[in-house]
Amino acid sequence: MATEPVFTALGYLKDNKLILTTAESCTAGCMVALLAALPGTGEVLESGYVVYSPSAKKRLLGVNAETIERYGLTSEAVAWEMALGALRDSDANVVIATTGVAGPAPESGVPPGTMCFAWGFAGEPVAVFTLTQRFFGERAEVMRQGALFGLTRLPHYHQRWLRGERA
């Protein structure tokens, strides 16, 4: 297991007084599991939502049915709404959201390994940054790669937010 990048992410959260929640679909809680394997995670992890089905995304995070219909489940628009919903429903000041296709087969024309991410930051105004990335390998490996990617890119987007950049 790649613990060094997770230690780095955990240290960044602590150093910057960030409290994290996750809204995970295709990574199915892997981000939380990677963090929770390390001591000190309780200082920075508020919650983790695993919202695999469209109904869970709508019910628990307030993702709009029209967004899913218009853009599809694997879309930055859905990841963006997942991030906003998790921030709204938690005491966290930062969120990482994932939605996508872990594989092994394509879904609705979306190639396996395609993941949409959103990194959100509470404040006035709330800022959310999105990105689509593709990973390769067996399903479990794709999920782990996606979780690591989400965690390790957090500092990049946090620094953009601190500079006042908006997505």
* pLDDT given at position 2: 61
- Give all domains of the chain, ordered by start, each with its CATH number: 20-39+46-160 (3.90.950.20)
Residue pLDDT, tens place only, 113-129: 999 999 999 988 899 99
Give yes or no for a cis peptide into 39 (omega within 30° of 0).
no
Residue pLDDT, tens place only, 58-75: 999 999 999 999 999 999
Paired tokens of 113: 């390994």
Beta-ladder partners of 119: 96, 129
- Distance, in Å, from the CA atom of 29 to the CA atom of 166, rounded to the nearest integer, reads 27
Mean pLDDT of the chain: 96
| C-alpha torsion 101→52→91→126, nearest 10 | 40
Contact 99, 83 (CB under 8 A): no
- Distance, in Å, from the CA atom of 26 to the CA atom of 167, rounded to the nearest integer, reads 23
Global model pTM greater than 0.95:
yes
